Structures are given as structure tokens and as C-alpha cells.
Amino acid sequence: MRFLLFSFVFFILALLGFNWTIAHALEFSSFSAALLKVSIFLLIVALLDYIVLWEFETFTEIIQNRNISYALFILGLFIVCAAAVLSV
């Protein structure tokens, strides 16, 4: 739940920063657009973790239990989400 909250706050801040740079400093807008894409990626991953994988505690499985297969599964989700976000 903390990861979802963090990603949502990061998305809101990146969106506000993007809007500010578009309005006041257009030459720096590509950096804020990249931050906005990263925040969208984190929000998608957090929602997938919260909605689809609700029965597992992700960080406990990966860090404490050292479950390599679960870590590889999450890495695959990260790669697919990153490819989807970067292609837009």
C-alpha cells in the first residue's frame, strides 16, 4: 500500500512539474516529460501489484524469503510495463 501511495504522489508531483515547465520553461520540458513517463510506469506497476497480486506481499517474498522465481516474475512485469510506457 505504501508503494501505491508513493507512486501516486510521485505521479501528481511529476504532472504538476510538467505543467509548470510547459508554461514557464519550455526548453526543459523534455526532462519533466521523462519524469512523467517514469511516474506513469511506477503507478502502473503499483496498481498491478495492488490489484492483481493482492494475495502476495511482494517485498516480503523477494527480500525476506529470497524467492527468485517471484523476483523474475516481477522483473518480467517491469520490463513489459516499461516497454509499454516508453513506446508511447
Q: What local confidence, expressed as pLDDT, does residue 12 receive?
A: 94
Give the model confidence (pLDDT) of 3-41 as tens digits.
Answer: 888 889 999 999 999 999 999 988 888 888 888 888 888
Domain span at 42:
2-86
Q: What local confidence, expressed as pLDDT, does residue 82 receive?
A: 82
Which residues have CB under 8 Å from 82's CB, separation 6+?
Answer: 41
Alpha-carbon distance of 61 to 24, in angstroms, equals 45
Q: Does residue 87 carry a pLDDT above 80? A: no
φ/ψ bin of 56: left (φ > 0), alpha (ψ from -120 to 50), beta (otherwise): beta
Q: Does residue 64 carry a pLDDT above 90? A: no
Cβ distance 58 to 49 under 8 Å? yes
Q: What local confidence, expressed as pLDDT, does residue 28 receive?
A: 82
Q: How many domains does the chain have?
A: 1
Residue whose entry in the numeric block shows the C-alpha cell 510538467 = 18
